């Protein structure tokens, strides 16, 4: 199998399930922005879940150079003949995945095959770039895990309550926030009511994907797969791991609401 | 018993026990379910492959306490010499602020042996402890939006080499030559390594 990129606009990269195990070297986990959707696209063409596929935050057109089977995370598998073009857009969501039966060939570097821009590994897809197949064996199709379809994004409160003025958390869970277009794989920037901080000194501390880091302007940034492993801004709350995919699927300009629980006693804050 | 706080539902954070970063990484990675560890200056975070249950959580305070006596061999790091050119844009500012001549700033920076104390900020960025107290300065009030890869910088009692073009708030005193701080084999510097700058 081989395919060629006809057009790529936006953040279009090869991704897999990332490079866990290197955060002590300041290498973030990386991998698909929405892992569940990468897996959905891979399963649609009977690939292993971690097969490299193309992540599209924007638009992509490819052309098959030989017959090949493709699927996205939202479409059924389709066979392309040599010369056929296939377009993928992330609209109306933020991200879409294009999987090719057998996987896309990409070199294994530091335990992963995906692009990690912050570490200079891989790069944005560009017109004329050619990909060959990885030749991965067929995996029997499996049902996808159920995804919560709706409802506010669940947060686990903390771990830096001393850095926030009283009422910050109530403001966060009672307001609507907009996903800013400046968002990328490092962070998803939110616009909405500023969360009041105290004067507690900033300390460089370990970070985690899904953390709502709050700079001095009070507007939270949700850390994504290419986040710095340490950072000085305090964390008001962390998105529940199960809800990360839902949050990162919301289109730029779209809105989000949060709900919070205290992880220690499950007491709802609202 | 040692305390910890949740960092979401798949990670925890606790105060850094008095051990080298490399000893802490090794010990915490041996805990059940741990896939990643970050050691910062004052804190440690452990990252799990799935949300841990109450029985696992009950074991953490004792595990954290045990880290204070984890095997630690501070001499185990490698010795690495980096070729340095002291031509940074902040050299004169650092000289003025420390009351030393530019030559003296370079000489003192090159005379010290540094240890990789923690890693963070960007892939392969090593915080090197051991900067002579005579060169101690707070960070710049306004960070630069772009510092070129390979730049040698100082702030507080630490020095570092930027592995990638990135924003930066430290004072830029020079650059390394002939090496890539991060590449397909990973970071050049690892926790515990001893580093000297050779001009």
Any idea what the CATH number is for the domain that residue B160 is in? Answer: 2.40.100.10
Helix ranges (H only) for B30-166 are 54-67, 91-98, 102-111
- Integer angstrom CA distances of residue A30 from A119, A156, A207, B39, B45: 10, 22, 13, 19, 18
- CA B15 to each of CA A99, A210, B2, B64, B123: distance values in angstroms, whole numbers, following the listed order: 43, 21, 8, 9, 23
- Where is the domain boundary, B42, B67, B92? B67
Residues A190 and A70 in one domain: no
Q: At residue A267, does pLDDT exceed 70?
A: no
Respond yes or no on whether the N-terminal peptide bond of residue A92 is cis (omega within 30° of 0): yes
Residue A17 — very low, low, confident or very high, per pLDDT cuts 50/70/90? very high
Residue B80 DSSP label: E
Instruction: Tell me the percentage of chain A whose pLDDT exceeds 90.
Output: 89
* Distance from C-alpha of A162 to C-alpha of A202, rounded to nearest angstrom: 11
Query: Does A266 have pLDDT greater than 60?
Result: no
- What crossing angle do the helices spanning B102-111 and B91-98 adopt, rounded to 10°? 90
The residue with greater pLDDT, A85 or B55, is: A85
Predicted confidence band of residue A124 (pLDDT cuts 50, 70, 90): very high
Q: Please report where in the chains the tokens 């804050």 appear, as a residue.
A: A269
Kindly state whether A159 is in contact with chain B, defined as any CB-CB distance less than 8 angstroms: yes
The values of phi and psi at residue A201, to 5°, are: -65, 145
Q: How many CA atoms lie within 13 A of B126 on its CB side?
A: 26
Residue with tokens 């193309």: A54
Compute CA distances A63 → A58, A101, B118, whole Å: 17, 15, 46
Mark yes or no for CB contact A27/B186 under 8 Å. Answer: yes
CA dihedral A259, A265, A266, A268 (to 10 degrees): -50
CB pair distance less than 8 Å for A241 and B9: yes
Indicate whether B88 and B178 sit together in one domain: yes
Residues B34 and B105 in one domain: no
pLDDT exceeds 60 at position A269: no
Domains in chain A: how many in total? 2
* Residues of chain B contacting residue A159, judged by C-beta atoms under 8 Å apart: 5-7, 13
**Cis status, amide bond into A159, omega within 30 of 0:** yes
CA dist A156 to A113, B6, B49, Å? 31, 8, 17
Q: Note whether B151 and B161 are within 8 A (CB).
A: yes
- B93 and B181 in a single domain? The answer is yes
In a domain, A269, yes or no: no
CATH code for the domain in which residue B43 is found? 3.30.1360
ipTM: 0.94
Cα angle at B36 between B33 and B39, to 5 degrees? 125
State the Cα–Cα distance between residues A229 and A207, nearest whole angstrom. Answer: 5
Grouping H, G, I as helix, E, B as strand and the rest as coil, residue A102 is coil
Is residue A143 very low, low, confident or very high in pLDDT (cuts 50, 70, 90)?
A: confident
**For B9-21, how does the pLDDT look when each residue is reduced to its tens digit (9 = 90+)?**
999 999 999 999 9
* Mean of per-residue pLDDT scores for chain B: 95
A68's CB contacts (< 8 A; 6+ apart) are A1, A2, A3, A79, A80, A100, A101, A133
CB contact under 8 A, B37 and A24: yes
Task: Give me the total of CB pairs closer than 8 Å, taking one residue from chain A and one from chain B.
Answer: 127
Is residue A145, in this structure, part of any structural domain at all? no
Q: Which two tokens stand for residue A240?
A: 């529940």
B-side interface with A, Cβ within 8 Å? 5-11, 13, 21, 25, 35-45, 47, 49, 51, 118-125, 164, 182-187, 190-191
Q: In the prediction, which pLDDT does B37 show?
A: 98
Please tell me the predicted confidence (pLDDT) of residue A147.
73
B166-168 and B79-85 as β-strands: parallel, antiparallel, unpaired? unpaired
Q: Which of B192, B55, B188 is nearest to B113 (CA)?
A: B192
The mean per-residue pLDDT over the stretch A58-81 comes to 97
Mark out the alpha helices in B47-193 (DSSP H runs).
Answer: 54-67, 91-98, 102-111
| Residue A190 pLDDT | 98
Final residue of a domain: which of B67, B97, B117?
B67
SS3 content of chain B, % helix, strand, coil (to 5): 25, 35, 40
- Residues B105 and B132: their CA atoms lie apart, in Å, by 10
pLDDT of residue A270: 36
Is the pLDDT reported for residue A163 higher than 60? yes
Residues B130 and B58 reside in one and the same domain = no
Residue A268 has what pLDDT? 40
Residues A158 and A74 in one domain: no
B166-192, pLDDT tens digit by residue?
999 999 999 999 999 999 999 999 999
Using alpha carbons only, what angle is made at residue A68 by residues A65 and A74, rounded to the nearest 5 degrees?
A: 120
Tell me the C-alpha distance between A125 and A94, whole Å. Answer: 17
What's the rounded mean pLDDT across residues A110-114?
97
| pLDDT of B115 higher than 70 | yes
For B8, the closest of A203, A230, A238 (CB atoms) is A238
Co-location of A125 and A160 in the same domain: no
Based on the structure, what is the number of domains in chain B? 2
Inspect the interface and report whether the beta carbons of B6 and A119 lie closer than 8 Å: no
Q: In this structure, what DSSP letter does residue A231 have? A: E
- For chain A, the average pLDDT equals 94
Interval B122-139 mean pLDDT? 96
- The confidence score (pLDDT) of residue B76 equals 86
Q: Is A13 helix (H, G, I), strand (E, B) or coil?
A: strand
- For residue A128, pLDDT over 70 is answered with yes
Task: Pick the closest to residue A169 from A195, A205, A188 (CA basis).
Answer: A195
Q: Where are the alpha helices (DSSP H) in chain B?
A: 21-29, 54-67, 91-98, 102-111
Interval B159-166 mean pLDDT? 96
The range of the structural domain enclosing residue B94 comes to 77-198
pLDDT of A144 strictly over 90 = no
- Per-residue pLDDT reduced to its tens digit, A205-263: 999 999 999 999 999 999 999 999 999 999 999 999 999 999 999 999 999 999 986 54
- Closest Cα partner for B67 from B95, B37, B93, B92? B37
Strand-pairing partners, residue A213, are A221, A235
Min Cα distance B103 → chain A (Å) is: 32
Q: What HEC string does B121-150 produce?
A: CCCCCEEEECCCHHHCECCCCCCEEEECCC
> Which residues span the domain enclosing A213?
153-261
Does the pLDDT value for residue B73 go beyond 90? no
């Amino acid at each position: 199998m081989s395919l060629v990129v006809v057009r790529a606009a936006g953040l279009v990269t090869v991704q897999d399930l990332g490079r866990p195990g290197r955060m002590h070297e300041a290498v973030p986990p990386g991998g698909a922005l929405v892992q569940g959707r990468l897996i959905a696209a891979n399963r649609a063409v009977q690939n292993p879940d971690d097969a490299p596929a193309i992540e599209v935050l924007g638009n992509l057109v490819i052309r098959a150079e030989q017959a090949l089977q493709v699927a996205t995370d939202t479409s059924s598998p389709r066979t392309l003949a040599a010369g056929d073009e296939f377009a993928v857009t992330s609209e109306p969501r933020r991200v879409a995945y294009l999987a090719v039966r057998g996987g896309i060939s990409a070199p294994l570097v530091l335990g992963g095959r995906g692009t990690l821009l912050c570490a200079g590994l891989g790069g944005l897809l560009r017109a004329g770039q050619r990909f060959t197949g990885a030749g991965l064996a067929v995996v029997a199709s499996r049902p996808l895990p159920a995804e919560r379809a709706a409802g506010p994004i669940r947060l686990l409160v903390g771990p830096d309550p001393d850095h926030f003025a009283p009422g910050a958390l109530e403001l966060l869970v009672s307001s609507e926030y907009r996903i800013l277009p400046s968002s990328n794989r490092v962070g998803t920037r939110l616009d909405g009511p500023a969360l009041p901080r105290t004067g507690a000194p900033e300390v460089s501390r370990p970070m985690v994907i899904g953390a709502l880091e709050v700079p001095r302007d009070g507007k939270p940034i949700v850390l994504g797969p290419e986040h710095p492993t340490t950072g000085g801004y305090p964390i008001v709350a962390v998105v529940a791991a199960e809800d990360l995919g839902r949050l990162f699927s919301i289109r730029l300009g779209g809105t989000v609401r949060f709900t919070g629980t205290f992880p220690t006693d499950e007491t709802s804050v609202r | 018993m040692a305390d910890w706080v949740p960092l979401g539902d798949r990670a925890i954070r606790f105060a850094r026990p008095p051990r080298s970063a490399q000893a802490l990484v090794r010990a915490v990675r041996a805990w059940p379910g741990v896939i990643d560890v970050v050691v910062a200056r004052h804190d440690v975070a452990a990252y799990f492959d799935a949300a841990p249950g109450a029985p696992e959580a009950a074991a953490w305070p004792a595990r954290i306490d045990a880290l204070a006596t984890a095997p630690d061999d501070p001499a185990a790091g490698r010795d690495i010499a980096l070729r340095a050119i002291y031509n940074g844009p902040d050299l004169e500012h650092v000289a003025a602020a420390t009351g030393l001549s530019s030559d003296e700033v370079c000489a003192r920076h090159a005379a010290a042996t540094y240890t990789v104390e923690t890693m963070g900020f960007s892939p392969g960025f090593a915080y090197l402890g051991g900067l002579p107290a005579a060169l101690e300065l707070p960070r710049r009030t306004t960070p630069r939006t772009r510092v070129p890869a390979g730049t040698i910088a100082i702030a507080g009692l630490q020095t570092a080499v930027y592995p990638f073009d990135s924003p930066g708030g430290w004072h830029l005193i020079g650059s390394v030559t002939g090496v890539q701080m991060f590449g397909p084999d990973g970071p050049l510097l690892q926790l515990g390594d001893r580093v000297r700058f050779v001009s």
